[in-house]
Structure 1
Amino acid sequence: MQELKQYTYEEAVAGARDYFKGDELAATVWVTKYALKDSFGKIYECSPDQMHERIASELERIEKKYPNPMTKAEIRELLDGFRYAVPQGGPMTGIGNDLQIASISNCFVIGHEKPADSYGGIIRIDEEQVQLMKRRGGVGHDLSHIRPTGSPVLNSALTSTGIVPFMERYSNSTREVAQDGRRGALMLSLSIKHPDAERFIDAKLEQGKVTGANVSIKVDDEFMQAAIDGKPYKQQFPITGDKPMVSGEIDAAALWKKIVHNAWKSAEPGVLFWDTIIRESVPDCYADLGFRTVSTNPCGEIPLCPYDSCRLLALNLYSYVDKPFTKEAKFDTAKFKKHVRKAMRMMDDIIDIELEKVEAIISKIDKDPEDKDIRRVERELWEKIRRKALMGRRTGLGITAEGDMLAALGLRYGSDEAIEFAADLQKTLAVEAYRASVEMAGERGAFEMYDPKREERNPMILRIKEADPKLYDLMVKQGRRNVAMLTIAPTGTTSLMTQTTSGIEPVFLPVYKRRRKVNPSDKNVNITFVDDVGDSWEEYNVYHHHFLTWIKVNKGLTDEQIKKLSDKEVDKLVAESPYHNATSNDIDWVAKVKMQGAMQKWVDHSISVTVNLPNDVTEALVDEVYKTAWKSGCKGVTVYRDGSRAGVLVKKDKKKEEEGVPTSRPVSLEADVIRFKNGAEDWIAFVGLYNHKPYEIFTGKVDEDALYFPKTVKKGNIIKVIEKDGVKRYDFQYKDKYGYVNTVGGISRLFDKELWNYAKLISGVLRTGMPPIDVVNLVSSLRLDSDTINTWKNGVARALHKYIPNGTKPKGGKKCPECGQESLVYQEGCLVCTNCGHSKCG
């Protein structure tokens, strides 16, 4: 293998910045998430051009296995500049990357083919989700097979603890798994028919509960109609069958009201319209062969059967508009059709690449030095995934830049005309994708289960038949390559690469303000804001890329002229543009849901959509959004009311929250141990806790020879102060798996003397009761000449993030680096944008 050139982070960002024509955000996101790296984080690409060459070379290699192969040049034409076809996430990162052994699938669903609510079955799922997350996959699974609270069990517990404790177990496991510095992604779902449905719906309202998972409730048509009509609804366990062990009637309207209230209050649960999902699902025509849909991936756009997976690729719709933002603007349907068929070939090639990746994972497992019995579960898991991928060859072809495309054509997002155009275009995509799959079946063979008799009454297949009878006849004759193939996934970071609106979403804002730090002594500096520590900042406008395109096309202004526009002049331009009254806060929310329903008819998987609502909307509107989604044929929907994450969590013990902290350190404190990466270095933090809050923190670089306790340390740790001859020593004590107490004597010896002194200083601040977020801000604002101390302060901030309560907003009006809005909140130690979903851990 040819030796690869290594780049520094700064070199890679500089190269990517040139590629993106000065777009710093796109450059840094690309380097962080998508540039070729090895398992140690070393970077081997400095431009998306290199990435596209890597991907095109691999796809060409696969194409040559089959008749009528596409050339590398054809593939590069689709990939270059993120103009047309954009692989998402795992495929962009992993295709052609032989430096890491990882899957390129974006999402998985796991579960038992037959319901298993024993501890063995529950723990097996826990282990499997962790194994997938460590290979970069998002995971979903359903909990409807777990017996409800109070049910008899044949063990010493006598009765079941129900759903919630296992939600916490799976959530905690997810939080422990890091993927390139990010935690794993998990979706937990439950049928509304389950007797623990109300507990499931309420689980995330209590502080500290189920913080590592998204939750969605699976509602059926019978429940929705009962809620509308005010009639009772029967719950039972098991949720299917004529002889349940537990059953009872509930007030459907009251439970529905709780779902709406919780969604209004905290943005969860999401709602999955399960009868619609199953009724429309093509794979469920093969349910008895293992393709019974049980849950969705974490963002909800791919309903899956156990052990199936999917890979995603989006087509950039804006690029198919000729003469955008002019009276002659027109969508190039012929080119779009041609590219859809090529994109489907690429997607099928990516399945072959994923199968190779899975083989590599299995080979690695076989070579691992652990006992075969320990490796068995992981190996069997990947064998199941390999088998399902071969059987169905499922793909996830979608779109992005819907909002920009409509604006470029002069259509206002949310209008009847825009909804009709969007739905017709999605129909075109669906028909051409199915055409490509049928063509590939003739060249490469159909997916092995294909049986036209099984599918002849499926609503999606019938729509394809009505749209193109000849295509349907050919499909019956020679089959189809892929069991299902279409989705519309969230494209947050992908849209930064395409520099367009995300997925099917409208533009967030055509223009918004950002601040940059400036030197007051510089010439021609414009200081508009001075922060709490005296730093000076300049406000400047950030324009949505294609709003700038509109200005240049219609007003003829140069970049320099645009920079000099006053706020009043900018507002006037917005009012004249097609983005006026078409932002995420302007559009009619019910109309947006109707658009989703119209497009859903031509998507055989699902659509990931969050309906963003202003803070002052009523619960009645949330109710209307959900019901409209159901009636319009949507498969699922989530709402987010602005600010609803903050201040909604119930305090577990108010008395403890109000208690002060002792000024004299207790002899022993409950302790937490946090291991993390600080740059390329392995670091550790020992955090002494009083009433579960940080009271002291000692952190530094790990010396593995000196630090001989296990990497995973269970609860029951303490930091104990030993005083002898007037000298204090801090000992860390933990229990090993056999229950024996072990001591790391004098943890100060683990760290540099200078770091230890700073640690004592910051610990003194914590002991005053200062909230962790204020301590983080204090530490982060330190201006120190020493590189060692600057690294240390980053470590302290990283460790303390864990203790910032969910929903807390960062101080100082901090804006999201992706969308520019002041909508950042802490969620499990990560800053998460509640508007666009951007997150940055650490």
Structure 2
Amino acid sequence: MGRIIEETQRQKYTTEEATQAALEYFKGDDLAAKVWVTKYALKDSEGNIYEKSPEDMHHRIASEIARVESKYPSPMKYEEILDLIRDFKYIVPQGSPMTGIGNPFQIASLSNCFVIGHPNGTGDSYGGIMKIDQEQVQLMKRRGGVGHDLSHIRPKGSPVKNSALTSTGLVPFMERYSNSTREVAQDGRRGALMLSVSINHPDAEDFIDAKLEAGKITGANVSVRIDDDFMKAVKNKSAYTQKFPIFSPNPRMTKEIDAEKIWQKIVHNAWKSAEPGILFWDTIRRESLPDCYADLGYETVSTNPCGEIPLCPYDSCRLLAINLYSYVVNPFKKDAYFDFDLFKQHVGAAQRMMDDIIDLELEKIDAILQKIDEDPEDEEIKRIEKNLWLEIRTKAREGRRTGVGITAEGDMLAALGIRYGREEGIAFSIKVHQTLTLAAYRASCEMAKERGAFSIFDAQREKNNPFLLRIKSVDPALYNDLQEYGRRNIALLTIAPTGSTSILTQTTSGIEPVFMPVYKRRRKVNPNDKNVRVDFVDEVGDSWEEYVVFHHKFKTWMEAQGIDTSKNLSDAEIDELIAQSPYYKATSNDVDWVSKVKMQGEIQKWVDHSISVTINIPNEATEELVNELYITAWEAGCKGVTVYRDGSRSGVLIGKSEPKKEEEEAPQAFPLKRPQVLEADVVRFQNKKEKWIAFIGKINEKPYEIFTGLADDEDGILLPRWVNEGYIIKNRDEEGNSRYDFRFTNQRGYKTTIEGLSHKFDPVYWNYAKLISGVLRHGMPTEKVIDLINSLQLDNESINTWKNGVVRALKKFIPDETEVKGQKCQNCNSTNLMYQEGCLTCKDCGSSKCG
């Protein structure tokens, strides 16, 4: 068995060394190399890198899984596990497991996603609402994405026994939870949040409209839980009765609505902005094996941020993907076939490894609880966080939920010469997923014999579950064994988006088709050099040569056909190549959308959790098409669906009016005179080993002024790590000079003031900050201010470090989907850029730059 090297013995690598090694590992794929170094290479809190290439990471993961295996009968060996995960060929732990397994530098969970909430719809009080807010933040700081449902919150106008007299309804709390998400950093990225509500809730319409206003609820995905009765009312054009509490036989409030009218609002908003998403809740609950134990705390209440894992309160899940492409023998050749025997064998191994990862997660949770106990804070302050992790540990130990999924469905079909989206392709995909389900459930049953079933297993509770009966219809022997011996895991399967994973496997993502088999990049050239071809001259006169970039497996297809992949092809030649390939008419924009939804429904029958899939439709698509896709999804048995109309999230939506053109946008409406007191955010960041801090004064959640400089040194700001917000107050010192103080509420509830921000930082930083604050106050959009700061030519290295920190702090305030003008993607030279969660993201190749 392999071993983890002690921390003191670990060799450190520079970013350049790791990037170069990763570039060689991925055979020149710079996007895959950057993603691995940025997201998954082992690092400490100071940014030191301890893995030179993914090979080191795979040894780390294999060592830990083998250590757990050694505790059980007939253990898999280290070499066997390593062969399954190395080169991203067969089995790929996703996200948190890839980062966290064997990581001594982070006290963090291995779970990709969590759901929190109150049992039986309780928690409708400020105390209950604040408890969820704190739990959400505590989970996000440990790297997990979080979902929770708002259906328990009383509707707007309901009587309350406090000074407000009536409830404010759902939307203000949506904003609170969204803002909390945006405040939490996760290794350079923000947390992810799903907010859901039942259509039966009287405030559902407000929830559906909540994200239309500019800058609102930018830190959360939102989905509506739709029940069958509502869908029947839509089809029958009949009334539907909302209740609070939802579905109560004795509600305190009822409200009769026109179901079709609300449905059309959902359709319109989804067409316009890709939200809200839809969760077909009766289908989710009806099919759910964990819901057979609803009375024991396993009632599904919401989903993770991407919707592929419906969960009960305080349960969590870890994800792992199987690379379907790697089971195609002789890919892209006439004798290509899918090796079902090897696939079934590896699915069994994957399910076993997922169960091992639960043991590793329980160790991580124990470390988190130990850290909480050792923290010097008052026990009352730590109580909610500690109880949260105790609840999560209980669910993980009792249910042992896993999330085995797949990636590369599109490439698998193409490699077999099967057109994605056609009847033959759908039929083959169903066969693959049925095989996966039977092999995973067989493996979980065998583990139940060796390791014991999940602790609350009860065959009688499950015997009529539709998903289990589907297994019985194709494999009665397996069903009988499951009834007799149980299974190790309460639920097993999912299909996640696999965005970063597919970059590392160099395949299509999840069950999606290829996005684009061929695209072009540009490289800058000197037009005076010999043998240089100039294809494009930009607006500043720079010359560029265009070159073709192939999707990895499209290039493999070309090589299989004996086509020269190094030749510089014309557009006509590229089109002709694509037309000859199995990717023709099989891209995300080509496939028949209704057929894709039906395919999702058929595959869903063999996935016990859910499927994250996006139906991409062109910009000119109508609301009628969105309506048809949603209705079809419900009828086909989908558990959820998201429709994205190309370009629908560009720009900013303001109420029901049309987006303003860029030249018509009004400046930010700030008062002429600075208020004496401003709300402020605190943003911390690190450049190399220097710790920096920024105080950003806000008006209407928009940046108005900024103070920033070195933190925690003799001349800097000494501020507790838990302080992330407060107030900037304009005062005068004894000599009558202006002074800016920062005030926050300490942990005992008292006000603490740091006097004279302007005197705490280097005068050079202060002078530049005054200049930038002046620009902000006069209404220049935040993204334009960032462009201005980036354009400053500063010779001093320290000042450049400061400049980068200011940019990083201000990016927090750029609305998602804001388009960027005048810049090019460093990866593919596309100009199709936008901001997403503070990161500059290319809409063509998917690469992003944060900080």
Question: Would the TM-score normalized by the shorter structure come out above 0.5?
Answer: yes
**2: CA distance between counterparts of 1:289 and 1:740?**
44
Q: Partners in 2 of 1:266 and 1:413 — Cα distance?
A: 27
Instruction: Please give the alpha-carbon distance, in whole angstroms, between the structure 2 residues aligned to 1:295 and 1:532.
Output: 49
Measure, in 2, the Cα distance between the counterparts of 1:390 and 1:733. 45
Which range is displaced more, 610-619 or 254-263? 610-619
Shift of residue 735, structure 1, vs aligned partner? 5.5
1:612-649, Cα deviation, whole Å (9 max, x unpaired): 11111111111111111111100000111111112442
What is residue 594 of structure 1 aligned with on the other side? Answer: 598
Alignment of 1:593-742 (within 5 A): 593-650=597-654, 658=666, 670=678, 672-680=680-688, 681-687=690-696, 693-694=702-703, 696-705=705-714, 706-708=716-718, 712=723, 714=725, 716-719=727-730, 729=738, 731-734=740-743, 736=745, 742=753
Q: Which amino acid aligns with 1:430?
A: T
One-letter amino acid matched to 1:617:
A
Moved more, 483-492 or 803-812: 803-812
Match of 1:465 among 459, 472, 476: 472
- The 5 Å alignment of 1:384-533 reads 384-518=391-525, 524-529=531-536, 531=538
User: Which residue of 363, 371, 383 corresponds with 2:378?
Assistant: 371
Assess, with a 3 A threshold, how the Cα gap between structure 1 residues 517 and 702 changes in structure 2: closer, same or farther: farther
Distance 2:656 2:427 in 1: 49
Q: 1:344/1:556 Cα in 2 relative to 1: closer, same or farther (>3 Å)? A: same
Which residue number corresponds to residue 794 of structure 1? 804
Q: How does 1:69-468 map to 2 (within 5 A)?
A: 69-114=75-120, 115-468=122-475
CA distance in 1, matches of 2:429, 2:724: 53
- Match of 1:809, SS state, is strand
Moved more, 482-491 or 529-538: 529-538
Kindly indicate whether the alpha-carbon contact (under 8 Å) linking 1:347 and 1:397 is maintained by their aligned counterparts in 2.
yes
Give CA-to-partner distance per residue, 1:300-322, whole Å, 9 cap, x none. Answer: 00000111110000000000001
CA contact (8 A) 1:667 1:721 kept: no
CA-CA distance at 1:790 after TM superposition? 2.8
In 2 relative to 1, CA 51–459 (structure 1 residues): closer, same or farther, beyond 3 Å? same
Q: CA deviation at 1:44?
A: 0.5
The answer to whether the 8 Å contact 1:661/1:690 transfers is: no
Aligned residues: 835
Deviation at 1:447, TM superposition (A): 0.8
CA distance in 2, matches of 1:493, 1:521: 40
The 8 Å contact of residues 525 and 543 in structure 2, kept in 1 or not, is answered as yes
Q: Distance in 1 between matches of 2:758 and 2:529?
A: 44
Q: The residue matched to 2:502 in structure 1 has which SS?
A: helix
Residue 242 of structure 1: how far off its partner (Å): 1.1
2:19 equivalent to 1:13: yes
Paired residue secondary structure (1:378): helix
1:693 deviates by 5.0
Contact 2:362/2:393 (8 A) holds in 1: yes
Report the Cα offset of residue 250 of structure 1: 0.5
Measured in 1, the distance between the counterparts of 2:674 and 2:825 equals 40
Instruction: Return the offset for 1:610.
Output: 1.3
1:129 Cα deviation after fit? 0.9
1:210, CA displacement in angstroms?
A: 1.3
Q: Write out per-residue CA displacement over residues 393-427 of structure 1, whole angstroms, 9 at most, x where no aligned residue.
A: 11000000000001111111111110111011100
Deviations 1:134-174 (A, max 9, x none): 11111111111111111111222221111111111111111
Other structure's SS at 1:99 match = coil
Give the TM-score taking structure 1 as reference length. 0.94
Answer yes or no: is the 8 Å Cα contact 2:820–2:832 preserved in 1. no
CA contact (8 A) 1:719 1:733 kept: no
| CA distance in structure 2 between the aligned counterparts of 1:106 and 1:453, rounded to whole angstroms | 31
Deviation at 1:502, TM superposition (A): 0.3
Q: Structure 1 vs Structure 2: percent identity of aligned residues?
A: 63
SS in 2 for 1:236: strand
The 2-side partners of 1:692 and 1:595 are apart by 43
Cα distance, 1:700–1:824 mapped onto 2, change above 3 Å:
same
CA contact (8 A) 2:26 2:32 kept: yes
5+ residue gaps, structure 1, are none
How many angstroms apart in 2 are the aligned matches of 1:608 and 1:102? 25
2:513 maps to a residue whose letter is P
Q: CA contact under 8 A between 1:688 and 1:697: conserved in structure 2?
A: yes
Maintained 8 Å contact 2:314/2:395: yes
In 2: Cα distance, 1:117 partner to 1:838 partner = 42
Q: Partners of 1:808 and 1:651 in 2: how far apart?
A: 17
Q: How big is each residue's C-alpha offset from its partner over 1:575-612, in whole Å with a ceiling of 9 and x where there is no partner?
A: 11111111111111111111111100000000001111
Alignment map for 1:786-825 (pairs within 5 Å): 786-812=796-822, 814-815=824-825, 817=827, 823-825=832-834
Larger mean CA deviation between 148-157 and 628-637 belongs to 148-157
Q: Is the 8 A contact 1:668 1:721 kept in 2?
A: no
Give the structure-2-normalised TM-score.
0.93
Moved more, 535-544 or 94-103: 535-544
Deviation string 1:784-829 (CA, Å, 9 cap, x unpaired) is 4443333233223223323434432011264495x98655432453
SS in 1 for 2:268: helix
Give yes or no for contact 1:809–1:824 (8 Å, CA) kept in 2. Answer: yes
What SS does the aligned partner of 1:78 have? Answer: helix
What is the CA–CA distance in structure 1 between the aligned matches of 2:199 and 2:358, rounded to whole Å?
A: 34
**AA in 2 matched with 1:111:** G
* Alpha-carbon distance in structure 1 between the residues aligned to 2:111 and 2:738: 49
**Residue 670 (structure 1) shift:** 3.8
**1:65 match:** 71
Matched, 1:571 2:571: no
The CA distance in 2 between the partners of 1:221 and 1:99, in whole Å, is: 48
**Which amino acid letter does the alignment assign opposite residue 675 of structure 1?**
V
- DSSP-derived class of the 2:561 partner: helix
Query: Distance in 2 between the 1:658 and 1:770 partners?
Result: 10
Deviations 1:685-714 (A, max 9, x none): 344567765455443332454324566364
Matches within 5 A, 1:37-56: 37-56=43-62
Contact 2:160 2:166 in 1 (8 A): yes
In 2, Cα distance between the equivalents of 1:49 and 1:277? 39
1:229-248: CA deviation from partner (whole Å, max 9, x where unpaired): 10000100011321100012
Report matched runs for 1:764-803 at 5 Å: 765-766=775-776, 769-803=779-813
Q: Distance in 1 between matches of 2:845 and 2:571?
A: 24
2:589 maps to which of 576, 585, 599 = 585
Cα contact 2:677–2:727 (8 A) shared by 1: no
| Aligned-partner residue type, residue 619 of structure 2 | N
Whole-angstrom CA distance in 1 between matches of 2:205 and 2:536? 48
Shift in Å at residue 723 of structure 1? Answer: 11
